[in-house]
């Protein structure tokens, strides 16, 4: 299953970055390419902040967001917009793109159906409910609207916004699951 997903994402990425139509598309199956896509998929499928038993695990992406203000500013724009989402998708930065889409969904009710449609499309390829939760637990806690960084330590000053993001993420997931059930009824 994992190899199939990696190949599928490789093909999607190649299709998005191909300028002219080609009759035969070569797929890089070298060890280095497989390792790259395995690492990419593992990142997509992991939470940035995770609690197991009595331990809290902070992944590399969250540590980088806390320590690197330039990187942090690149992840959290003043306003979330579609062109940035498309740029992230083209670069295969899907978890970041999904975080942007969660924020677009939250801020702009006119775009909600387009955001849901995007998530539903990806849900036919991967488990979007899990990936959306992973995006939330990677990017929500270091969002500048929620958290200040002082001495390389996050200080959450707006837990209400943190909660709102979680509720919106759960709402999106409920919509995806509803669509999945309706699709299965028709099959």
Per residue in 136-157, pLDDT (tens digit) is: 999 999 999 999 999 888 899 9
| pLDDT above 90 coverage of the chain, percent | 66
Q: For residue 181, is pLDDT > 90?
A: yes
Mean per-residue pLDDT, 6-18: 52
DSSP output for 21-52: --SS-----SHHHHHHHHHHHHHHTS-SEEEE
In three-state secondary structure terms, 160 is helix
pTM for the model? 0.82
The residues, ordered by sequence, that sit 6+ positions from 81 with a Cβ below 8 Å of its Cβ are: 104
Q: What is the pLDDT of residue 108?
A: 86
Mark out the alpha helices in 18-158 (DSSP H runs). Answer: 31-44, 60-67, 69-75, 82-90, 94-107, 112-123, 128-139
User: When comparing pLDDT for 26 and 174, which is higher?
Assistant: 174
How far apart (Å, rounded) are the C-alpha atoms in residues 3 and 8? Answer: 9
């Amino acid at each position: 299953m994992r190899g199939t997903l990696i190949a599928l994402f490789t093909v999607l990425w190649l299709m998005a970055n191909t300028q002219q139509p080609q009759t035969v598309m070569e797929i890089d199956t070298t060890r280095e390419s497989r390792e790259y896509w395995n690492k990419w998929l593992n990142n997509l499928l992991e939470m940035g902040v995770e609690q197991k038993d009595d331990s809290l695990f902070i992944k590399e992406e969250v540590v980088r967001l806390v320590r690197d203000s330039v990187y942090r500013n690149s992840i959290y724009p003043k306003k979330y917009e579609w062109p940035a989402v498309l740029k992230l998708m083209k670069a295969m930065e899907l978890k970041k793109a999904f975080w942007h889409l969660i924020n677009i969904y939250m801020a702009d009710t006119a775009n909600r159906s387009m955001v849901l449609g995007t998530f539903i499309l990806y849900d036919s390829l991967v488990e979007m409910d899990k990936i959306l939760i992973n995006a939330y637990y990677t990017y929500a806690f270091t969002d500048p609207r929620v958290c200040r960084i002082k001495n390389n330590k996050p200080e959450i000053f707006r837990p209400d916004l943190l909660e709102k993001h979680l509720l919106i993420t759960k709402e999106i997931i409920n919509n995806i699951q509803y669509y999945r059930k309706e699709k299965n009824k028709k099959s």
